[in-house]
């Protein structure tokens, strides 16, 4: 499968409400061993917005076949029983947040009285049924690696929160799926198509931890050691931030892992509803 990918893209995402996201970083690796390179965004100081990175993806895949990894949760855990049958998915998110620009998803965490509100941990709505243990199957599998601590998508409090970034990212994915399905497959929502680029969910810390490496990828030496473990040349310049380090390693890890066809297989098609973190083995799931 890896032979058909021309390049590999690691995107460290952000749920920031601002027009230009300081933490949104993009790195590209070509075939071979050359170290991934950070892509400069069109905003001031080379920043990206979610709008611009979504446009960039759509344009980028016109010229090459890419495996693109993005760092946010693509789906929700199974919580329908708590919501009396209400299904929360990309369309639910878009219907709620459509008025907010730049694919911002923060509104989901501020609305009281909506079916999902009881699941949210934020300063605003009630949280009668919030639990940090509301995790997807793929997150439970990822936790088997020492040090990997995936967070609940319903959390919007504290430094480890993943909710706003994930909800904003879902809006980007829905746009790409609606407007660019001829050139992009979003795995595992879509079947892998040899004629299309593929977008997968990723967890950069997991890549490092799966090789027993300190996930502090802002450290130049640690990043280069991690790159070596995934068959990549080192980067000459130290990453400017942890977000840059995450994006760089992710691009290299996608390149290194894309040879393993088993990582694109799921043991149960029903898992597509929750999505899956690329690179997390599925062998332990029955």
pLDDT tens, per residue, the chain with 286 residues: 445 899 999 999 998 899 999 999 999 999 999 999 999 999 999 999 999 999 999 999 999 999 999 999 999 998 888 888 888 999 999 999 999 999 999 999 988 888 899 899 987 766 778 888 899 999 999 999 999 999 999 998 876 678 999 999 999 999 999 999 999 999 998 888 888 999 999 999 999 999 999 999 999 999 999 999 999 999 999 999 999 999 999 999 999 999 888 898 876 777 888 999 999 988 656 5
pLDDT for 1: 43
pLDDT for 129: 81
CB 4 within 8 A of CB 192: no
pLDDT for 131: 86
Within 8 A by CB and 6+ apart from 89, the residues are: 75, 76, 273
Which residues, in sequence order, are bridge partners of residue 25? 12
pLDDT for 162: 86
Round to whole Å and give the CA distance between 225 and 216: 11
For the chain, the structural domain boundaries read 2-75+165-273
Round to whole Å and give the CA distance between 207 and 246: 9
pLDDT for 113: 84
For residue 243, the SS3 value is: helix
Of 264, 259, 233, 276, give the one whose Cα is nearest residue 29. Answer: 233
pLDDT for 221: 98
List own/partner pairs for 111-118 with CB under 8 A and 24 or more apart. 115/83, 115/84, 115/86, 115/88, 116/83, 116/86, 116/88, 116/92, 116/154, 118/82, 118/83
CB 270 within 8 A of CB 130: no
How do 25-30 and 37-38 pair as beta strands? Answer: antiparallel
DSSP H helix total and E strand total for the chain: 7, 6
pLDDT for 124: 74
Our CA dihedral for 64, 67, 72, 76, rounded to 10 degrees, sits at 110
Just give the CATH number of 2-75+165-273: 3.30.420.140
pLDDT for 64: 94
Which residues, in sequence order, are bridge partners of residue 27? 10, 38
């Amino acid at each position: 499968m890896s032979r058909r990918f021309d390049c590999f893209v690691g995107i460290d995402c952000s749920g920031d409400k601002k027009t230009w996201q300081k933490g949104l970083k993009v790195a590209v690796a070509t075939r071979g061993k050359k170290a991934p390179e950070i892509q400069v965004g069109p905003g001031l100081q080379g920043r990206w917005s979610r709008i611009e990175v979504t446009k960039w993806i759509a344009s980028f895949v016109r010229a090459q076949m890419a495996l693109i990894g993005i760092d946010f949760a693509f789906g929700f855990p199974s919580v329908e029983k708590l919501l009396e049958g209400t299904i929360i998915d990309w369309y639910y998110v878009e219907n709620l947040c459509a008025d907010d620009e730049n694919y911002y998803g923060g509104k989901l965490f501020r609305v009281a009285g909506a079916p999902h509100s009881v699941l949210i941990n934020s300063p605003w709505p009630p949280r009668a049924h919030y639990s940090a243990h509301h995790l997807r199957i793929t997150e439970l599998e990822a936790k088997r690696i020492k040090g990997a601590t995936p967070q609940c998508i319903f959390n919007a409090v504290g430094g480890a929160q993943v909710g706003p970034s994930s909800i904003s990212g879902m809006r980007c994915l829905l746009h790409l799926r609606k407007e660019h399905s001829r050139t992009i497959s979003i795995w595992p929502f879509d079947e892998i198509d040899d004629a299309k680029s593929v977008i997968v969910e990723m967890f950069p810390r997991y890549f490092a931890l799966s090789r027993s490496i300190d996930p502090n990828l802002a450290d130049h030496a640690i990043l280069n050691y991690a790159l070596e473990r995934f068959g990549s040349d080192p980067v000459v310049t130290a990453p400017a931030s942890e977000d840059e380090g995450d994006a760089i390693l992710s691009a290299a890890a996608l390149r290194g892992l894309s040879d393993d066809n088993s990582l694109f297989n799921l043991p149960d098609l029903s898992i597509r509803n929750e999505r899956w973190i690329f690179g997390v083995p599925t062998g332990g799931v029955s």
